């Protein structure tokens, strides 16, 4: 990796066993015990404490399997609104150290702390200060990695978990990468690993045995990216998250349609996309908007404001369906979209489903969290709601 006169300092923070740790912090009786979050009898594990991991339990594992492995574990429901609240506390701490904070998910963030040494000390000292302040505010541990580029900072944060702090200096990057398994590189999945194994590529050092042109010809942009990572190159900047005004998804059909059931299947698909994005960033919205564009390119929008903010897929879907039911389809539809706006990030009131009871609301919250966890780990199509099983046509936009 080319030496820079003033190399960047990128910090990646990852909260340790975040959901389970929040449960242990809120309920001292759970501390030191195996805690499994989202372990409903017919669901999957959303998260688990380090004590639970000793029994072989991991996220996305079927709850029935977890209960066989650890029948004496403490099984708790998902409380996404509480995790989002604690996440906001963590981000507030980080913003004291740098104006360049990019929240990557509810439990992780990047900071560009280049040039901050005069204010907060050397990288290791700065990392220790951040960890101490996060602990003081939330009672939770986190792990921090500091490196010259983003992908190395993320790897470094996982290097000494839990409660870790690992600093990778510029002069140590080449040696660190040489023996690093390609499986450790963010974005290298099992399918790619299989193709690399056939080439005899197990480490990032192995990647450099092939010339740059080979990777571009064989794997396109992905191959070029892998080659650059092997050299320690990652030009991505830390981009501060800006408050969104809305979140939406829409689809254009290959053929215009009058079919309301088809339109509602698309709304479910879109509600899942929008809901997952909101939950990832800790947002909830109060206003659901339906957009329809007809075959003659005219369009309409219809909106409804809920009694309380929500990020729940089912709540958005049902509201959008009611809006659709109120529209007279006197001409075929070319495009349908679902949007959420009027956001809130404060502590959440209990959301009100207009047609669902309290037990069903809790079930939907756990279902959303479980599906998010599975898709984060195995991809968007790893699990599909029954309504969408036979629904794979159309064009995402």
The domains located in the chain, with CATH, are: 13-117+128-146+154-165 (3.40.1170.60), 179-230 (1.10.150.20), 246-396 (3.30.1490.100)
Tokens of 347: 């502590």
**Contacts of 172 by beta carbon, 8 Å cutoff, 6+ apart:** none
Residue 371 has what pLDDT? 67
Among candidate residues 225, 313, 216, 306, the one with its CA nearest the CA of residue 268: 313
Compute the distance between CA of residue 137 and CA of residue 358 in angstroms, rounded to an integer.
Answer: 32
Are the CB atoms for 330 and 42 separated by under 8 Å?
A: no
Residue 105 has what pLDDT? 87
Residue 278 has what pLDDT? 87
110-133 pLDDT, tens digit per residue, is 999 999 988 999 999 999 999 999
Backbone angles phi, psi at 308, to 5 degrees: -145, 150
pTM higher than 0.85: no
SS (H, E, C) the chain: CCCCCCCCCEEEEEECCHHHHHHHHHCHHHCCCCEEECCCCCCECCEECHHHHCCCCCCCCEHHHHHHHCCCCEEECCCHHHHHHHHHHHHHHHCCCCCCEEEEECCEEEEECCCCHHHHCCHHHHHHHHHHHHHHHHCCCEEEEEECCHHHHHHHHCCCCCCCEEECCHHHHHHHHHCCEHHHCCCCCHHHHHHHHHCCCCEHHHHCCCCHHHHHHHHHHHHHHHHHHHCCCCCCCCCCCCCCCEEEEEEEEEEEECCHHHHHHHHHHHHHHHHHHHHHCCCEEEEEEEEEEECCCCEEEEEEEEEEEECCHHHHHHHHHHHHHCCCCCCCEEEEEEEEEEEECCCCCCCCCCCCCHHHHHHHHHHHHHHHHHHHHHCCCCCCCHHHCCCCCCEEC
Compute the distance between CA of residue 102 and CA of residue 104 in angstroms, rounded to an integer.
Answer: 6
Residue 345 has what pLDDT? 57
Are the CB atoms for 340 and 246 separated by under 8 Å?
A: yes
Tokens of 386: 């029954």
Residue 342 has what pLDDT? 86
Is 108 annotated as catalytic? yes
Residue 189 has what pLDDT? 84
Residue 378 has what pLDDT? 58
Catalytic site residue from 23, 108, 247, 312: 108
Q: Residue 388: left (phi > 0), alpha (psi -120 to 50), or beta?
A: alpha
Compute the distance between CA of residue 71 and CA of residue 244 in angstroms, rounded to an integer.
Answer: 43
Low-confidence stretches of the chain (pLDDT < 70) are 1-6, 39-42, 241-244, 345-367, 369-397
First to last CA, the chain: 38
For 287-326, letters b (16+ CB in 10 Å) and e give bbbbbbbbeeeeeeeeeeebeebbbbbbbbbbbbbebbee
């Amino acid at each position: 990796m080319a030496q820079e006169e003033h190399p960047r300092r990128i910090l990646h923070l990852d909260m340790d066993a975040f959901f389970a740790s929040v449960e242990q912090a809120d309920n001292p009786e759970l501390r030191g015990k195996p805690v499994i979050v989202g372990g409903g009898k017919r669901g999957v594990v959303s998260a688990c404490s380090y004590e639970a991991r000793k029994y072989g339990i991991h996220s996305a594992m079927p709850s029935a399997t977890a209960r066989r492995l650890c029948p004496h574990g403490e099984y708790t429901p998902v409380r996404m609104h509480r995790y989002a609240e604690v996440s906001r506390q963590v981000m507030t701490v980080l913003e004291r150290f740098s104006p360049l904070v990019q929240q990557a998910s509810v439990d992780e963030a990047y900071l560009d702390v280049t040039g901050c040494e005069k204010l907060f000390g050397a990288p290791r000292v700065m990392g220790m200060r951040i960890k101490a302040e996060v602990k003081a505010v939330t009672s939770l541990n986190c792990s921090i990695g500091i490196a010259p580029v983003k992908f190395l900072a993320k790897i470094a944060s996982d290097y000494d978990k839990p409660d870790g702090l690992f600093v990778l200096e510029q002069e140590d990057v080449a040696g660190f990468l040489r023996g690093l398994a390609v499986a450790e590189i963010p974005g290298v999945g099992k399918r790619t690993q299989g193709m690399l194994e056939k080439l005899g590529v197990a480490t990032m050092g192995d990647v450099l045995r092939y010339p740059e042109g080979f990777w571009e010809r064989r794997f396109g942009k992905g191959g070029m990216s892998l080659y650059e990572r092997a050299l320690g190159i990652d030009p991505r900047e830390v981009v501060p998250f800006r408050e969104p005004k809305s979140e939406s998804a829409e689809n254009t059909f290959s053929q215009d349609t009058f079919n309301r059931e088809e339109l509602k299947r698309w709304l479910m698909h879109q509600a899942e996309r929008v809901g997952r994005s909101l939950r990832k960033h800790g947002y909830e919205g109060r206003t659901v908007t339906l957009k329809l564009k007809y075959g003659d390119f005219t369009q309409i929008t219809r909106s409804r404001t809920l009694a309380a903010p929500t990020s729940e897929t089912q709540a958005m879907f049902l509201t959008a369906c009611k809006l659709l039911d109120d529209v007279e389809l006197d001409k075929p539809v070319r495009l349908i979209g679902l949007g959420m706006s009027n956001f809130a990030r404060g502590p959440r009131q209990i959301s009100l489903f207009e047609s669902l009871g309290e037990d069903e609301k809790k079930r939907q919250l756990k279902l959303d969290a479980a599906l998010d966890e599975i898709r984060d780990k195995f991809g968007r199509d790893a699990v599909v709601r029954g309504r969408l099983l036979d629904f794979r046509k159309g064009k995402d936009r």
